[in-house]
Amino acid sequence: MLKKYDISYDGGSMNKKFLIDLLFILFLFLLFFASIITRDLYNLDEIWNFNFARNVANGLIPYNDFNMVQTSLMAIFNGILLKTFGINLIVFRVIAALLGSAIIFLSFKILKKLNINNILSLISSAFLFLYIKNGYYLDYNYMNLFITLIIIYLELNSKKTIKYNILIGFLASLTILFKQSTGLFICAMTCSYILINNLNKDTFKLVLYRVIGAIIPIIILFIYLILTNSLASFIDYAISGIKTFTNNIPYKNILTINPILGILVPLFIIYFLISGIKNKNKTNLIFGVFALANFIVIYPIADMIHFKTASFITVLGIIYLMFINIKLNKNIVYIISTIIFIPLVIFIITRFNYYINTQKSELLYFYNIPINKDVEKNILLVDEFIKKQEKDVYILDADAALYMIPLNRYNKNYDLFLKGNLGNTTILKEIEKINNMENVMFLVKSEGYELNWQMPVEVIDYVRNNLKNVGTIYIFDIYEK
């Protein structure tokens, strides 16, 4: 590396390094926030995750009071922040921007640790931001990616101390508390992969320490579930109920949308694993193991949003392979910097300017979120209708939370009425439950309006065919008992 041409803070004081890091994180935050804050109120995944956090902030207990299929630490963590700084989607998006900034900054630090040129590490950070920005929102998969990146950073300088390995196990197990399915795989891989190329007594001891560390968050989870009397409902929704999650988008969907990445990412995971094992290349092995663990996110819904999360570590590893031996001269450094970062500054300015001048919501909890005024008008129309009814009103649609959040209500199961999110129940039981209800109204999308692909359509058909249709409000038919 040509050190004299390396735009770097290496060799500077700790205060200077900290200041530069802080300025870089601020720049990343502005990039993410500029990208997120200008979005209309349309992403259902964002709304559902916000609703989980809102419920916690309002004192509701996961599983007992509201239905969710994943483990609840993300909802609890976000709920505490919302309770502290304000229950509004704006605050939720600030948290999202902070997490996104942390993910990219950690990626930068990993590349730096691997001796990638400073400017190339910065360019890589910009590319990684562009790679995920369009589908990025605050959810448990990105939190688990963040934790996995922390583990990678630490493992690149792995230590054999007891405390270190207990810490690694603890961090790995935290991913289970954010999402149990992928977290279990990440935790198992983290605790056991060090046996590869090191099958000896000493390494077995390190594995044991990691397992001890991994047990701690699990114990904390069970203590929390017992203290909140929610263990039974947790088992119902997050364990037994998983088998009812039949929603699936096969991997061939990725191969259709982006065949190059769809093929390259699995191939590079295999390359990292083989070269890491065969050549005893520690760095490649780490990338291979954690890229594979993170890639589990793609199952069972292989859309581009999940794919970008799942492939992030692989893409970071590919960048490492591309840049490890590249040297830059002074002129190229300045040219590349200009080409990359001036457009990003312009992006920040234009997006904030758009936000300032766009129409924004005045709905409760959605205040100051960009919104189409017709959409807001129709939400208010439906909400006013619901408030006037003496009967309980349930919206059997994936959009239900969009209407219930401004009413500051949550109807367990019905505000997230999706396959796999209803606990250990069957469609017949859901129909039987509705059949036994009295003095209620159901709003169901009128014929001709497309239902979300995860909706239990058998229940919708039952309501349409067996309950009394008493009118229409906006795009919903009204049925009552």
Residue 313, pLDDT score? 98
User: pLDDT tens, 33-77?
Assistant: 999 999 999 899 999 999 999 999 999 999 999 999 999 999 999
Contact 375, 41 (CB under 8 A): yes
pLDDT at residue 241, as a whole number: 79
Q: Which residues contact 69 (CB under 8 A, 6 or more apart)?
A: 237, 238, 241, 242, 245, 420, 421
Cα–Cα distance between 148 and 163 in angstroms, integer? 18
pLDDT tens-digit series, residues 439-475: 999 999 999 899 998 899 999 999 999 999 999 999 9
Question: Quick one: pLDDT at residue 8?
Answer: 45
Tell me, letter by letter, the H, E, C secondary structure of the chain: CCHHHCCCCCCCCHHHHHHHHHHHHHHHHHHHHHHHHCCCCCCHHHHHHHHHHHHHHCCCCECCCECCCCCCHHHHHHHHHHHHHCCCHHHHHHHHHHHHHHHHHHHHHHHHHCCCCHHHHHHHHHHHHHHHHHHCCCCHHHHHHHHHHHHHHHHCCCCCCHHHHHHHHHHHHHHHHHCHHHHHHHHHHHHHHHHCCCCCHHHHHHHHHHHHHHHHHHHHHHHHHHHCCCHHHHHHHHHHHHHHCCCCECCHHHHHHCHHHHHHHHHHHHHHHHHHHHCCCHHHHHHHHHHHHHHHHHCCECCHHHHHHHHHHHHHHHHHHHHCCCCCCHHHHHHHHHHHHHHHHHHHHHHHHHHHHCCECCCCCCCCCECCHHHHHHHHHHHHHHHHCCCEEEECCCCHHHHHCCCCCCCCCHHHCCCCCCCCCCHHHHHHHHHHCCCEEEEEECCCCCCCCCCCHHHHHHHHHHCEEEEEECCEEEEEC
Task: Give per-10-residue mean pLDDT for the chain (481 aa).
Answer: 42 73 95 96 94 98 95 97 97 98 98 90 93 94 98 89 96 97 95 92 94 97 97 93 79 94 96 95 96 94 93 97 80 78 94 96 96 95 96 96 97 93 85 93 94 92 95 96 86
Give me the pLDDT at residue 278, please.
93
Under 8 Å between Cβ of 215 and 177 = no
Q: Which residues pair with 478 in a beta bridge?
A: 443, 471
Q: What is the pLDDT of residue 338?
A: 82
Give me the pLDDT at residue 330, please: 67
* Confidence (pLDDT) at 6: 42
- Residue 455's identity, in one-letter code, is M
